[in-house]
């Protein structure tokens, strides 16, 4: 199989959201802390009728319908998620309801979990399957689904929720450059979920930021090394049109991109211009550790990378800024933003993605765009996802109502024997929602 990659995409995020500006005021944070300090505009969240299973049911059903894919044509289904609803039964098995109905139970794959990285693991599994000798000619399907919620405190505004479904196969408009990959994996306690009675993570915010940036540097180093071996020349930021990052909040994405420019400067890559060299020169002797803490370096590299950021990163930031951190779906929501914004001018271009999951696992990899053929064309993917329409039809909750919802969800997490309000008035037609969890913890869903 040639040009294996993403043929089609669909995204779903809850229509319920809270404005960061309102949340900031409600939390007693200083004005601008969430909107400028974190760079976030709005945050989506699940109410008591939605969860990672309902969102993924919605995304998969919608993808199959809108691209007219017969469920029998799916041969592998992989789910990435870090939202634990069951310690044994995979989310994938819930999604099998869709396929059983059309008589297809011959589908490989289960769930992958490591914080926000599970979606990338799932994606690689599907791509590798299509490229392998066990491929049977059918499509792979990847689902990233998460509800990111934090306890009250500084991490709470960095929540979010979404599900993304991606169809995998050959001759894709979004093809993997499979040789161009650099990973970094190591043991860290930056963000983890050891308390199985709570949906909230234990998070060392400062450490998680440093872990993210160190993983980025290391992945970029390996990535550049592989590129050089393959292409016989140095890689620099000018060799890709766009850079897409796992996006816990936009400020970290800004810092990440400027960090890549700093890496180019240190490697003396050809693309770094004279002004940048001058601006970054004072920092060339810092040790790695020092460089993560140095505020002047952060400022100087952000200034130096500003116009490159606007061209190569800004078009990827819409959904993560509007919806928040979607954990496994976060990177692919940023990628979906790029397709939404630029679908008509992407053909032929290279895009670099950086996936990060705390704990920690990270990979930088490369994709190449092609025009594609209907229904698997970039313009059709953009129109199916209808990002603009979905963002516009949301309902803003006041912060008080958001906090109240979080309290109810805390109570419901891991609980049994309850029925939900079944209130689906805010959901659009075709959306799945939770109706009941019975005395045996079995979950029941309905479709609006
Ligand atoms: N106006 C403008 N900016 C402000 C204001 C203000 N009024 N007040 C604060 N800021 C800035 C700060 O200067 C800081 O920016 P900087 O990093 O450029 O200096 C930023 O807002 C955040 O403020 P801090 O006080 O540094 O951090 P805070 O205690 O609010 O915590 C954090 C932020 C660590 C991101 C927290 O929200 C968190 O723990 N989130 C979850 C962990 C996370 O997302 N980690 C990322 C990688 S791991 C993952 O994906 C889960």
Q: Any residues with CB less than 8 A from the CB of 59 and at least 6 apart, and which? A: 10, 11, 12, 143, 145, 163, 164, 165
Q: What is the pLDDT of residue 270?
A: 80
Query: Which tokens go with 430?
Result: 């075709």
Mutate to test the pocket of ligand 1, among 31, 158, 327 (most ligand atoms within 8 A of CB): 158
Q: Are strands 395-396 and 191-192 parallel, antiparallel or unpaired?
A: unpaired
* Residue 388's pLDDT band (cuts 50, 70, 90): very high
pLDDT on residue 154: 97
Encode pLDDT of 349-363 as tens digits.
999 999 999 999 999
3-state class of 207 per DSSP?
Answer: helix
Do the beta carbons of residue 142 and residue 165 sit within 8 Å? yes
* Biggest CA pair distance of the chain: 68
For residue 111, what are its two tokens?
A: 């769930």
Q: Give me the catalytic one of 24, 78, 246, 343.
A: 246
Q: Whose CA is nearest to atom 23 of ligand 1?
A: 37
CA distance 147 to 84: 10
pLDDT of residue 269: 78
Q: What SS3 state is found at 327? A: helix
Per-residue pLDDT reduced to its tens digit, 143-202? 999 999 999 999 999 999 999 999 999 999 999 999 999 999 999 999 999 999 999 999
Element (H or E) spanning 375, and its range? Answer: none
Which residues have a Cβ under 8 Å from the Cβ of 302 and sit 6 or more positions away? 254, 255, 258
pLDDT average, residue stretch 422-429? 97
**How many other C-beta atoms lie within 10 A of the C-beta of residue 285?**
8
Pocket of ligand 1 (CB under 6 A): 30-33, 36-38, 116, 154-155, 158, 191, 203, 205, 208-209, 212, 248, 251-252, 325, 358
Residue 225's CB: how many other CB atoms inside 10 A?
12
Chain-wide mean pLDDT for the chain?
97
Which of 28, 38, 149 maximizes ligand 1 atoms within 8 Å of its Cβ, making it the mutation to test the pocket?
38
Closest alpha carbon to 248 in 53, 116, 104, 88: 116
Residue 271 has pLDDT above 90, yes or no: no
- The answer to whether residue 371 is catalytic is no
pLDDT in tens, 73-105: 999 999 999 999 999 999 999 999 999 999 999
Residue 10 known to be catalytic:
no
Residue-level pLDDT at 177: 97
Strands across the sheet with 418-419, in order? Answer: 418-419, 432-437, 443-447
Question: What pLDDT shows up at residue 94?
Answer: 98
**Atom 9 in ligand 1: residue holding the nearest Cα:** 33
CA distance 336 to 162: 12
Q: Who contacts 148 (Cβ-Cβ below 8 Å, separation ≥6)?
A: 158, 159, 160, 161, 324, 325, 326, 327
Among 21, 23, 33, name the best residue to mutate to test ligand 1's pocket (greatest count of ligand atoms within 8 A of Cβ): 33
- Is residue 108 part of the annotated active site? The answer reads no
Is the pLDDT at 268 greater than 90? The verdict is no
Coil, helix or strand at residue 291: helix
Q: What would the pLDDT profile of 234-261 be if each residue is shown by its tens digit?
A: 999 999 999 999 999 999 999 999 999 9
Is this structure's pTM higher than 0.95?
Answer: yes
Q: For 286-434, where are the alpha helices, taking DSSP H only?
A: 288-293, 295-312, 318-323, 330-342, 378-385, 387-392, 399-412
């Amino acid at each position: 199989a040639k040009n294996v990659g993403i043929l089609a995409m669909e995204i779903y995020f809850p229509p319920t959201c809270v404005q960061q500006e309102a949340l900031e005021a409600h939390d007693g944070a200083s004005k601008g802390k969430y909107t400028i300090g974190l760079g976030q505009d709005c945050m989506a969240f699940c109410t008591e009728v939605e969860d990672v299973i309902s969102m993924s049911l919605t995304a998969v059903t919608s993808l199959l319908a809108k691209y007219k894919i017969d469920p029998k044509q799916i041969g592998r289904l992989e789910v990435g998620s870090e939202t634990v609803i069951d310690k044994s039964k995979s989310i994938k098995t819930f999604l099998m309801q869709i396929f059983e109905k059309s008589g297809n139970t011959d589908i490989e794959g289960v769930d992958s979990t490591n914080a926000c990285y599970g979606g990338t693991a799932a994606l690689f599994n599907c791509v590798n399957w299509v490229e392998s000798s066990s491929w049977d000619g059918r499509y792979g399907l990847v689902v990233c689904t998460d509800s990111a919620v934090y306890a009250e405190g500084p991490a709470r505004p960095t929540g979010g929720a979404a599900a993304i479904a991606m169809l995998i196969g050959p001759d894709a408009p979004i093809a993997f450059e499979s040789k161009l990959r650099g990973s970094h994996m190591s043991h860290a306690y930056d963000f983890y979920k050891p308390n199985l009675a709570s949906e909230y993570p234990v998070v060392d915010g400062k450490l998680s930021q440093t872990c993210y940036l160190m993983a980025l540097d290391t992945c970029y180093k390996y990535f550049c090394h592989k590129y050089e071996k393959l292409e016989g020349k140095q890689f620099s930021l000018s060799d890709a049109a766009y850079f897409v990052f796992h996006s816990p909040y936009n400020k970290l994405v800004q810092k990440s991109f400027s960090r890549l420019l700093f890496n180019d400067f240190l490697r003396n890559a050809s693309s770094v211009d004279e002004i940048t060299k001058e601006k970054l020169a004072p920092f060339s002797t810092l040790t790695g550790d020092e460089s993560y803490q140095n505020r002047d370096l952060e400022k100087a590299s952000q200034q130096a990378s500003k116009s490159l950021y606007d061209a190569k990163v800004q078009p990827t930031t819409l959904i993560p800024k509007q919806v928040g951190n979607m954990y496994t779906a976060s990177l692919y929501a940023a990628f979906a933003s790029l397709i939404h914004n630029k679908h008509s001018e992407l053909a032929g271009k290279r895009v670099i993605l950086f996936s990060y999951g705390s704990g920690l696992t990270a990979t930088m990899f490369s994709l190449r765009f092609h025009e594609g053929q209907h229904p698997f064309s970039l313009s059709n993917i953009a129109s199916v996802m209808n990002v603009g329409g979905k963002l516009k039809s949301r309902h803003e909750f006041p912060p008080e109502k958001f906090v109240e919802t979080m309290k109810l969800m805390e109570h419901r997490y891991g609980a049994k024997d309850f029925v939900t309000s079944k209130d689906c008035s805010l959901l659009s037609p075709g959306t799945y929602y939770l109706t009941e969890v019975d005395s045996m913890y079995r979950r029941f869903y309905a479709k609006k």
